[in-house]
Amino acid sequence: MYYKIGEKIEEFAPDAFDHIPFQYVAVIGSAEWSDSYRKFDMGIEWDINIKEITNTRAEVNFDSLTGTFSIPSREDISGKRHKFAFALDEKGIVFIDDEGFASRVIEKIARTKKYINPCLEKFLYDFMESIIHRDYQIIEKFDSELDAMEADILGGVAEDSVKKLSMIRRNLRDLRIHYVQLIDFCQELEENENEFFSAENERYFHLVSQRIQTLYEMTISLSDYTTHIRELAQAQLDMRQNRIMTILTVITSIFMPLTLIAGWYGMNFVYMPELKSPIAYPAVFVVCVLIVIVSLVVFKRKKWL
């Protein structure tokens, strides 16, 4: 697919890329790039393997700027990523994409954007914006989930909290790494080492970089919040365990004198006078009840129960 960067992003059928009077966007597969990269006249021979892409980056060449994108799916942030490559110069940009992600983004831009001053820089700005446009809502959703999780933990309902918290921490970590790479990518564009971009349009890269920086700082803040919640969950767990140990200690303390009495009178010596006394059993029973009552009163006053 080939697109003209004009008042709108529109498809066109190029005859050659040597004398196109406007900037363009192309989306081709890796096999087509290997067969026809020379027609774009970017002065590079780049054998790209989409499957081996691991990060988002940009690299300055003599007559071009090349790089890769590795974008987490917003439906499954820690899952499979959208991977594609690109090469650009002052004439336009070529996306090498076997999945179709870049095409979907460009088609959305074509439907929704209209340019007063069409340029490659503004298209790249819109492309980057399309990548992160849902992220504010995603981070706000994580924030709401963490708030609810904190309330559940304080309310004593924390059965799945650790598992959910681990998943959110993993997603925030992957987003944070993604944003760092995007910020570096935007800075590479803003440096404009090959002078492909006009100085007045470099502000687009600075603007989108600032927005990504804001998202990055939000993920750091939420990561710190997850640490607080994890510590809170551990504190609640420790409190429950201490409560259980306190109850077991109280029960043990109550039954220790009763066990002593039972052991004492279980010896069955012949000359134990209580064995033949008619009031021995009621007396021992009353003593045992008094021991239990007095112990409970003492523990209540000391707030052990």
Give all strands of the β-sheet with 92-96 in edge-to-edge order: 9-11, 2-5, 24-28, 92-96, 81-89, 65-72, 57-60
Contacting residues for 109 by C-beta, under 8 A, at least 6 apart: 9, 123, 126, 127, 130
Maximum CA pair distance of the chain? Answer: 122
Considering only 22-31, 96-105, 228-237, which range has the smallest mean pLDDT? Answer: 228-237
- The pLDDT assigned to 23 comes to 86
CATH class of 1-132: alpha beta
Considering only 89-93, 153-157, 213-217, 298-302, which range has the smallest mean pLDDT? Answer: 153-157
Ordered by start, the domain boundaries in the chain are: 1-132, 134-267
CA distances from 38 to 16, 17, 59, 62, 156 (A): 11, 10, 19, 15, 65
Query: For residue 305, is pLDDT > 70?
Result: no
3-state secondary structure of 128: helix
- The pLDDT assigned to 173 comes to 93
**Average pLDDT of span 98-106:** 90
Rounded CA gap, 279 and 296, in Å?
26
3-state secondary structure of 60: strand
**Average pLDDT of span 59-74:** 88
Beta bridge partners of 72: 81
pTM assigned to the model: 0.78
pLDDT in tens, 180-212: 999 999 998 888 888 888 888 888 889 999 999
Q: Which two tokens stand for residue 93?
A: 């940009």
Rounded CA gap, 293 and 221, in Å?
53
Of 218, 190, 185, the C-alpha closest to 206 is 190
**Average pLDDT of span 13-35:** 80
**Chain position carrying tokens 């004492």:** 264
- The pLDDT assigned to 17 comes to 64
Please name the helix (run of DSSP H) or strand (run of DSSP E) that holds residue 194, with its range, or none: none
